[in-house]
């Protein structure tokens, strides 16, 4: 029997000598010792004698096919990393790969013939140019370990925790860590979790192991949150969560979760900071019992993730009934997504399912940018895998988190400054939204806030006299780190804000609700926030409305102003109006508010240009536009629709309010004609249409109705100025 060296070994079984020799030459150039056989008997003899690190195996062979070889390798408890090669179709190759994984073999990947040398090398080597970490079974523990060894290891604190980062798919910002248990046995070496977790489960040690991991992980997590705050990264750690795996056997022990909750309290954490991950299979073993305990955990505030989703055989009805907050895609699909249409189809179906149920989706096992880009494109929320970072020891995980937060804040600030909105004058397009929000939510203060390095600056400020405050006291510093709305019903009861100068002094904030405003790549550059001087609340419907209004503000942040604005009057042009009016009508329908659309045409305006010149005609159009701004509300949409046509949308306005507006307009145009130096009088025709929320029409239908009414009214005296 040959003595073992540090050189990595590759054993090849392929009945095609040319293919086998090609694999051999590629691996030898990379420093591997290689043996190649076309005969299964010799292959298994070398397997026993030589102890290879890697195996390259052809599926289709005459004496013993690859599936049979895989079964025999599993029977022999082979720990080598296996690369499956074949010229068969992709679905058959993927099925063989799944068969290998289900046999407990260490599958590195599948390689469809013909292949390139680079594709083969990528399976032999990791992304950093060194042998793949799964290709070193010799460094894993090989001596047997027992339940007594594990119990002693827990007492001697031989187990430790590593932390794998999770990031936002769109922005790359840190959203959490998964805590993973590891065991370094003094004699057996590093014992992998797939050996000691089953021991713990079958010998009543799993709850003790879970508490051990929780205690260590929560202690580290509390410290890293403090360091993020203290290191002035520009970010707050509120939205970062710690994920910990929970065994199905532990669901029966309610006292365990009470101790976990107490452990959170001891570290000044809340259950909101913790994600409990359960496998799909374990959650479905007893759906009724699971429903009871999981519901109680969610009521306490814990987040619940269904892990390895897509590999079990659960009833979809049962899945929908259980109160999970996150779906975690099984890595077997993620790791094959780049080359498998089947895997991509499954992934997209699960992401769509999660979105439809209001669940966050996390993909684990991401090892290449193509897969990450695909997940980003289909709307997956979070990413985890070697491409992001490997599981890290505590001190390295802390440094990784600090650097990631600094980089995220730098990207966010770059996006903010690229908007070129800071320190610009107030704009009606933002003020219109804050006016609308004030009416809808009945609060005294509504702000569109942009957050830079040192301050929160108010692009639209309704209800405050100040234009900015220092960032260290800004509620929005917290809001931008939330994926969703930050809701503070009573600031005096919230330790984060009860001593804030904006709470103890002017404007005496007692209620706050803020929704992040994001640019196209997902970075939050500011907030839309509601503020009151007394405690308050937002129900689910109100929160949906705030999200919708924040979406309208996001559109304005990124709008090409020149493309949506009439250059002569500075009103919206047709394109700008139609986009915003469509959103406003949809919001009115949701609120069950009526709305009125007015269509105005200046009469015989062509003769003004012909008789008095285009310069005087342009001046008249500008004065008419200014008059419309004065007559109508700031929350109303006003646009120059064509050469001498104007259109207005009055949200939350009934028929009487529309008639009152036309009266004000008639008086204002009469005043304009008396006071102006024009050698002519402006006259107009007007038509209007109303939105009935019980029988809603779309924008084009309302425009057509208002236009038709305008022509019908053209010769009637109430449609003209006098």
Q: Which residues are catalytic?
A: 364
Q: How far is CA 577 from CA 56, 315, 612, in A?
A: 63, 48, 30
CA distance 239 to 259: 23
Residues sharing a CB contact under 8 Å with residue 104, sequence separation 6 or more, in sequence order: 74
Cα–Cα distance, 355 to 333 (Å, whole number): 18
* Rounded CA separation 199/205 (Å): 8
Instruction: Tell me the backbone φ, ψ of residue 335, rounded to 5 degrees.
Output: -70, -20
Q: State how far Cα 318 lies from the chain centre.
A: 26
**Alpha-carbon dihedral angle through residues 521, 523, 526, 531, given to the nearest 10 degrees:** 100
Question: Can you list the positions of beta strands (E) in 452-589?
Answer: 455-462, 468-470, 486-488, 511-518, 524-532
Instruction: For residues 112 and 84, give the distance between their C-alpha atoms in angstroms, rounded to a whole number.
Output: 8
In 3D, which of 572, 707, 687, 548 has the Cα closest to residue 637? 572
Q: Is the peptide bond before 114 cis (omega within 30 degrees of 0)?
A: yes
Helices and strands (DSSP H and E) totals, the chain: 26, 24
CA–CA separation, 163 vs 176, rounded Å? 9
φ, ψ (nearest 5 deg) of residue 457? -115, 135
Distance CA 58, CA 19 (A): 10
Residues 6 or more apart in contact with residue 265 via CB below 8 angstroms:
none
From the list 119, 126, 120, 134, the residue with the least C-alpha distance to 80 is 134
Q: Are 10 and 32 in contact, with CB atoms under 8 Å apart?
A: yes
Q: In which order are the strands placed within the sheet that holds 54-58? A: 33-37, 9-13, 54-58, 81-86, 106-112
Which ranges in 231-363 belong to alpha helices (H)? 254-266, 280-283, 287-300, 316-321, 331-334, 341-356
* Residue 684 host element (H or E): strand 684-691
Contact residues for 268 (Cβ-Cβ < 8 A; gap 6+): 222
Q: What are phi and psi of 359, to 5 degrees?
A: -100, 145
In 575-674, the DSSP E strands lie at: 595-602, 637-640, 645-651
Q: For strands 159-168 and 174-185, give the pairing.
A: antiparallel
């Amino acid at each position: 029997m040959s003595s073992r060296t540090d050189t990595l070994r590759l054993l090849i079984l392929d009945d095609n000598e040319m293919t086998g020799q090609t694999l051999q030459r590629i691996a030898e150039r990379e420093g591997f010792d290689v043996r190649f056989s076309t005969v299964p008997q010799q292959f298994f003899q070398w397997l026993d004698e030589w102890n290879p690190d890697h195996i390259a195996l052809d599926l289709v062979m005459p004496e013993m096919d690859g599936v049979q070889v895989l079964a025999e390798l599993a029977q022999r408890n082979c720990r080598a990393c296996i690369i499956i090669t074949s010229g068969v179709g992709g679905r058959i190759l993927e099925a063989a790969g799944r068969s290998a994984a289900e046999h407990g073999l260490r599958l590195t990947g599948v390689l469809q013939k013909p292949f390139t040398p680079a594709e083969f090398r990528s399976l032999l080597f990791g992304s950093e140019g060194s042998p793949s970490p799964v290709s070193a079974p010799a460094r894993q523990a090989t001596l047997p370990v027992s339940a007594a060894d594990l119990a002693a290891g827990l007492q001697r604190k031989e187990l430790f925790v590593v932390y794998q980062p999770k990031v936002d798919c769109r922005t790359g910002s840190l959203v959490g860590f998964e805590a993973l248990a590891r065991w370094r046995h003094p004699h057996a070496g590093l014992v992998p979790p797939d050996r000691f977790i089953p021991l713990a489960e079958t010998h009543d040690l799993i709850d003790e192991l879970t508490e051990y991991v929780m205690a260590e992980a929560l202690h580290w997590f509390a410290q890293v949150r403090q360091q993020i705050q203290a290191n002035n990264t520009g970010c707050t750690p509120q939205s970062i969560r710690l994920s910990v795996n929970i065994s199905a056997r532990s669901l029966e022990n309610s006292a365990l979760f009470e101790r976990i909750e107490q452990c959170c309290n001891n570290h000044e954490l809340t259950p909101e900071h913790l994600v409990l991950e359960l496998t799909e299979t374990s959650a479905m073993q007893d759906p009724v019992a699971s429903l009871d305990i999981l519901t109680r955990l969610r009521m306490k505030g814990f987040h619940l993730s269904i892990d390895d989703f897509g590999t079990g055989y659960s009833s979809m009805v049962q899945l929908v009934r259980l109160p999970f907050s996150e779906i975690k895609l099984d890595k077997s699909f993620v790791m094959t997504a780049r080359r498998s249409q089947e895997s991509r189809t499954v992934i997209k179906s699960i992401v769509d399912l999660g979105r439809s149920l209001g669940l966050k989706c996390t993909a684990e096992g991401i090892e290449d940018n193509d897969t990450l880009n695909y997940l980003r494109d289909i709307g997956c929320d979070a990413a985890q895998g070697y491409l992001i970072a490997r599981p890290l020891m505590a001190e390295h995980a802390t440094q990784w988190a600090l650097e990631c937060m600094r980089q995220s804040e730098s990207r966010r600030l770059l996006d903010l400054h690229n908007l070129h909105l800071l320190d610009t004058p107030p704009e009606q397009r933002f003020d219109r939204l804050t006016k609308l929000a004030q009416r809808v939510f009945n609060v005294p203060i509504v702000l569109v806030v942009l957050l830079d390095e040192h301050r929160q600056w108010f692009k639209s400020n309704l209800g405050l006299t100040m234009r900015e405050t220092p960032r260290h006291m800004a509620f929005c510093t917290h809001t931008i780190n939330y994926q969703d709305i930050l809701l503070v019903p009573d600031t005096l009861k919230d330790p984060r804000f009860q001593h804030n100068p904006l709470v103890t002094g002017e404007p005496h904030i007692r209620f706050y609700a803020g929704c992040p405003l994001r640019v196209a790549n997902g970075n939050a550059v500011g907030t839309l926030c509601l503020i009151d001087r007394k405690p308050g609340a937002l129900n689910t419907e109100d929160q949906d409305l705030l999200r919708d209004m924040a979406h309208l503000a996001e559109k304005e942040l990124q709008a090409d102003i020149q493309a949506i604005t009439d250059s002569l009057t500075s009103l919206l042009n047709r394109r700008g109006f139609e986009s915003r009016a469509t959103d406003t009508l949809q919001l009115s329908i949701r609120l069950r508010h009526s709305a009125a659309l007015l269509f105005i045409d200046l009469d015989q305006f062509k003769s003004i240009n012909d008789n008095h010149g285009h310069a005087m005609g342009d001046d008249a159009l500008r004065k008419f536009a200014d008059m419309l701004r004065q007559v109508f509300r700031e929350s109303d949409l006003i646009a120059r629709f064509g050469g001498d046509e104007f259109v207005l949308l009055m949200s939350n306005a009934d028929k009487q309010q529309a008639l009152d507006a036309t009266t004000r307009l008639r008086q204002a145009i009469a005043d304009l004609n008396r006071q102006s130096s024009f050698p002519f009088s402006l006259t107009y025709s007007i038509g209007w249409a109303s939105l009935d929320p019980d029988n809603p029409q779309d924008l084009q239908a309302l425009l057509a109705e208002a236009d038709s009414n305008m022509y019908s009214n053209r010769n009637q005296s109430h449609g003209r100025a006098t």
